[in-house]
Amino acid sequence: MKHKALSTEIKLLAVLAGLMVALSLLSPRFLTIDNLTNVVWSVCLIGILSSGAIYPRITGGIDLSLGSMAALTGIIVDRFMNHMGLHWIPAILLTILIGALIGLFNGFIVAKIKVPAFVVTMAAKTYLYGIALVVSQGAMMAILKPRPFLEIGTGRLLGLPNPIYLMAVLVAVSQFVLRKTAFGRKVMAVGANETAAQLSGVDPDRIRIVSYTISGATSAIGGVVLASLTQQVFAAAASGIELDVMTALVIGGTSPVGGRGSVAGALLGAIMVAFIINGLNLMNIPAPYHPIVTGTVILMALLLNEGQFKGKFGRAAA
């Protein structure tokens, strides 16, 4: 039962490799640069959102307001640029700031009023959706300018779509913060045992508030990328994506009770789900069957990880 600390990522890599071999044998179209790029591209948004959403999750909480937040911030950035005439750079920075502030508010309620994060962010998901409806007047709006803004989502660098770089940077930074900084240690400690963390000099409330703030900021980044990528904004633009993010986190080995997790694992998890869906498409299996397969995969991943958690807690209880 020891030396398990990093094995989830390695297991996932092995599964991914196996999946790739199987899919390339099943379909000649699979192992093409275009197809692979498409798969990774499709998980960009999940990757960006996971890089922040993992913090509340590791503290033992959850941020379910991601989807509404991304849609709302997409609408806001459009307002700033195309209705208020702001330059696209300050517009984006302001939007991220707004996302961070909403996250801060979520975190404050979770930490100080001690309400379960599930309820707090579920409420936020709902009222943020409402605010998005009001601000957008319930309409779907196309974004046709400015050009540099649209380049963020649709442009390419060295043949790869821009969002892939953005996601890679965010995931790398997030993984670095979690593994290599004092703050990351504190986040893990709060999730593993809040009281022990507090007695060891960690301020759990502060760590929680910062965690939700980060999640809010990455949700806003996700919202900006989504708006730029799809060139349109509307209140339901990212509806339900929080569940894809939670799926990626679970498959990636983030503990459902907090205390441990990995952004890289989450990204691998998201890619795995995308590969499976891609494979089903390539094999011409009709879309209604896809959720059955992905749901089963989530369950299997959970059972695998759960076994691991049991091993960790089982003997310890004595």
Partner 1 sequence: MDVQSRGMQGEARSREILLSCKGIVKSYNGPIVLDHVDFSVYRGEVHSLVGENGAGKSTLIKIITGATNRNEGDIIFDGKPIPLEFSRRDAQAAGIACIYQELSLIPGMTVAQNIFLGKEPLMRGVRIIDKKAMNRMAQDLIDRYQFPLKATTIIDDLSIAHRQLAEILKALSDKASLMIMDEPTSSLTRTEVEMLFKIIHMLRDQNISVLYVSHRMEEVYHLSDRVTVLRDGKLVDVLERDRISPAEIIRLMIGHKLEEKAVHHRLVPKNGPVVLEVRNITSLGKFEDISFDLHEGEILGIGGLVGAGRTELVRALYGIDPIDAGTVRYLGKPYVPSVQKAIASGIGFIPEERRRQGILPTQTIRTNIAITNLDVIAPRHVTSRKREQELAMDGIKVCNVKPADPLHLVGNLSGGNQQKVVLAKWLVRNLRLLFIDEPTVGIDIGAKEEIYEHIQRLAASGVSIILVSSDLPELTRLSDRVLVLRKGRIIKEFKDCVLTGEKILRAASGITEEVEDEA
- Residues interacting with partner 1, by CB under 8 A? 1-5, 180-186, 188-189, 192-193, 195-203, 255, 259-260, 309, 312-313, 315-316
Nearer to partner 1, 256 or 281 (CB): 256
DSSP state of 242: H
How many angstroms separate the Cα of 192 from the Cα of each of 4, 60, 222, 235? 16, 8, 28, 36
Is 154 or 193 the residue whose CB approaches partner 1 more closely?
Answer: 193
CB nearer to partner 1: pick between 137 and 195: 195
Cβ(272)–Cβ(251) under 8 Å?
Answer: yes
Cα separation, 304 vs 285, whole angstroms: 27
Based on CB atoms, which residue is closest to partner 1, 104 or 184?
184
Min separation Cβ 257 and partner 1, Å: 9
Instruction: Classify 204 as helix, strand or coil.
Output: helix
State the nearest-atom distance from the C-beta of 227 to partner 1, in Å. 33
Q: DSSP class of residue 289? A: G
H or E element in which residue 157 lies: strand 156-157
In the complex, least distance from residue 304 CB atom to partner 1, rounded to whole angstroms = 17
Q: Taking the complex as a whole, how short is the minimal distance between the CB of residue 302 and partner 1, in angstroms?
A: 17
Residue 146: is the preceding peptide bond cis (ω within 30°)?
yes
To partner 1, the closest distance from the beta carbon of 130 in angstroms equals 30
Nearer to partner 1, 161 or 261 (CB): 261
Query: CA-CA distance, 79 to 73, in Å (whole number)?
Result: 10
Q: What kind and span of H or E run contains 17?
A: helix 7-26
